[in-house]
Structure formats: structure tokens, C-alpha cells
Amino acid sequence: MENNVHNTIIHTEPPPFIRVSGSHREIGRQIGEAFKKQVQHSIESAHAIIDGTYKELELTWEGARIQARKYVPFAQERYPQYIEELLGIAEGAQVSFDDLGVLNSMEAVTMDALHLAKCTSFAVNEYLTADGHVLVAHNEDWLPEDEEDVFIVHVSSDDEPPFLAMTYGGLLPNIGLNAAGIAQCCNSVYPNDSRIGIPRVIVSRAVLGARTPAEAIRCMIVPHRAAGYNHLLAHESGELYNVEVSARQFALLYGKDGFVVHTNHYLDFNMQKIEADPEELIGSQGRYFRALRLLTRTSQHTIKTLQTIQRDHINYPNSICNHAVEDIYPLDREKTINSIIMDLTSRIMYIAWGNPCENHYHDFYLDE
């Protein structure tokens, strides 16, 4: 691996974990209290990014707060329960709701100038696993500063199936699996039809409350959404989808051969027509093809074979496992901050905190 390992933090402990339950407000408050340090640090990091890129974005932190406030009424109307969760986090972590609002609509308020495009997700069902399990994998690539703010939550709310999810700092959780047998991973995509509406993070948080794949997809394409992600959706029955979403359009890509792969560019022809700057996404295309080839060379996948794919460094630093390269423009700087495999059949989440090539995977269990 020659000189590939820049800025690689070795975590000797598993990521922090909390079990929370109750109303959405109470859940938020428990998360905020337990992870006050992480929530506060993530706000400081976002603040520093906005300050450090004033020349390009001409956005102040106060300006970002004003922008973020415009999105709140759309979320409040459709999903008041998740605004309650954010209010709870703000109370528990003793931060302002407006600052959390910026974090949870960061991609929108920076007009997607934060070109974070290195997440890789894939899944295989019983056709392609040695033990017949349904396995879902995701490398989360984000700002290096947020790596220390990663944690795991086990959430049992009054009105949703319990779920187990990874998140960091003050972001609502959206990558995880629930007791209805649904798992979701999110990948940033770059449509040109974004608008003020329900922020992507809140749309994807709602998916973790879904009880069927159809209900999950309806959440992803909720009216008045601000933009969209690719949502990799897996069900314990082996149903696999990529749901590519923009503010006004969507496409369903079905894993008919027992697998799905996604990175950060649209795969559907009609969605490609509204992709902003496709030439910026060549790195994403390379990662997609690499993951596709590695995933389709065996029909006997295990947790270990998927972990091997997650540690791949081909095309570095546009590789599946990505390390932050020094002296890169702040808005483009990112690394793999954790690597997850979800076994939907056994309801276990395996997570390597930091780069999976250097850190061990730890297991967390979803209870009913």
C-alpha cells in the first residue's frame, strides 16, 4: 500500500453507543445529553468551514443560520416529530436550534459547494452470500474533522420500529437498519433542480421509521423535498433498490440479480440529464466500476469479503477506502470516517471507526 495511508487515525475503542427511547423530543434530549461534546464539536467544525471558505461562498455563519431557517417550515409541516428530535438534541447538548439547523441542511446552505462525493454503498442478497444472509455495506466519507464525532444510536420511539444507526455530531441519524427489516445507506448526488424544501437529512431520517420497502420509497420522494440522495434500500426479504432522487424527479433501480452498487453519480439515464457537472464525478464513476467488479466476482460473499472491498485503495485518493490528502481545498477535503456492514438477516451492524484498512470492525445488535 506504499504511501497510501495519510492521516489515518487508529481508534482503539469502539465508537460510543447509546440506547434511547420515548417521544421524539425525549430521544433527541437523551442523544444531546450523551453526546454533548460531539454535537458541540461538529458545530464548531462546520462554523470553521464556513468561515474558511468565505471568499468562495460569501456566506457567514449568521447567513448560514438565516438560510437554514428557510427550510424549517417545510420540515415542520411534514415531519414535526423530527423537528422535535432536533429541538431535543439542542436542549440536551445546550446548543442553539439554529446551529443544528445549519448542520442538518449544510449541503443546501452551501449550495452543494461542499463537493463531498466519495461514499460507496453496495448490497447483496441470498443469491450472492455463502450463508444466504442479506448484507449491506457503506463507507461514509465526510469531512475529516467529523471522524471524532461518530457514534451509534439504538432508538426505540413511541411510534416507529426500533432502529440501530450510525451518525456523527448533531446530524439526525439516517444510515442504519430497523426492526421492520429495512436498511438504508445514503449517497450524495448532484441534481440541478434543488430548491428550498425539506432537507435531505430529514427526508432520510424518516426512512428509518418505515415499515415496508414501499413506505420507505414514499418517504424518499416526499413532496416539497429540497433535493435528494441516492438511497440504497434493502429489505430482509432480499429486495434491493437504489432510489435515485432529486428535488423533482426520481428513479427506481432494482437489484434483480441479487446485488446493487452506488457511489455519487446518477445511474439512471433520465436522472443523468439533470446532473450538474458530471465531469466532476469521474472519481465516483471509477469507484462504482471498481466496487461492481469486486462484488460480482463471487456468489459466496461473507462479512469478510465485503470488508475486503471496503478496504480497497485502487484509484487512490478516489478509492473506496479514502484517506484525507494534505493541502487540498477545504471544501473538497474528505476521508472515510467509518465503514459499515449491516447483516439484515441477523440484525447486526459491524462498524470500523475511521479507515477500515487500519481499524477493526465492532458489532452492534438491533433488539426488538
Torsion over CA: 42, 12, 177, 286 (sign): positive
Interatomic CA distance for residues 79 and 175, integer angstroms: 18
CB of 357 to Zn ion, least distance (A): 3
- Tell me which stretch binds Zn ion (CB under 5 A): 197-205, 252-260, 314-322, 338-346: 314-322
Number of residues that bind Zn ion (CB under 5 A): 3
309 binds Zn ion per the rule CB under 5 A: no
Interatomic CA distance for residues 285 and 17, integer angstroms: 34
CB of 355 to Zn ion, least distance (A): 4
Cα 105–108–114 angle (5° rounding)? 100
CB of 341 to Zn ion, least distance (A): 16
Closest to Zn ion by CB, 64 vs 321, is 321
How many secondary structure helices (H) and strands (E) does the chain include? 12, 14
Sheet holding 17-22, edge to edge: 17-22, 150-157, 163-168, 175-178, 182-188, 229-235, 240-245, 250-254
CB of 360 to Zn ion, least distance (A): 13
Q: Which residues ranging from 193 to 222 are in contact with Zn ion (CB under 5 A)?
A: none
Could you count the other beta carbons within 10 Å of the beta carbon of residue 3?
Answer: 7
CB of 80 to Zn ion, least distance (A): 41
Q: Which residues contact residue 268 at a Cβ distance below 8 angstroms, ignoring those fewer than 6 apart?
A: 244, 251, 253
Number of residues written out for the chain: 368
Closest to Zn ion by CB, 228 vs 354, is 354
Q: Which residues ranging from 21 to 60 are in contact with Zn ion (CB under 5 A)?
A: none
Closest to Zn ion by CB, 103 vs 320, is 320
Number of Cα atoms under 13 Å in the Cβ half of residue 316: 18
175 binds Zn ion per the rule CB under 5 A: no
- Tell me which stretch binds Zn ion (CB under 5 A): 22-30, 51-59, 90-98, 353-361: 353-361
357 binds Zn ion per the rule CB under 5 A: yes
Closest to Zn ion by CB, 120 vs 355, is 355
Closest to Zn ion by CB, 105 vs 355, is 355
Which grid cell is 165? 444507526
Interatomic CA distance for residues 104 and 82, integer angstroms: 11
Euclidean distance between the first and the last CA atom of the chain, given in angstroms as a whole number = 42
Interatomic CA distance for residues 84 and 90, integer angstroms: 10
Closest to Zn ion by CB, 25 vs 335, is 335
- Tell me which stretch binds Zn ion (CB under 5 A): 32-40, 98-106, 159-167, 319-327: 319-327
- Tell me which stretch binds Zn ion (CB under 5 A): 17-25, 95-103, 267-275, 347-355: 347-355
Closest to Zn ion by CB, 204 vs 336, is 336
Closest to Zn ion by CB, 141 vs 343, is 141
Could you count the other beta carbons within 10 Å of the beta carbon of residue 161?
Answer: 19
- Tell me which stretch binds Zn ion (CB under 5 A): 57-65, 131-139, 258-266, 320-328: 320-328
Pick the binder of Zn ion from 137, 321, 349, 352 (CB under 5 A): 321
355 binds Zn ion per the rule CB under 5 A: yes
- Chain positions contacting Zn ion, by CB under 5 A: 321, 355, 357
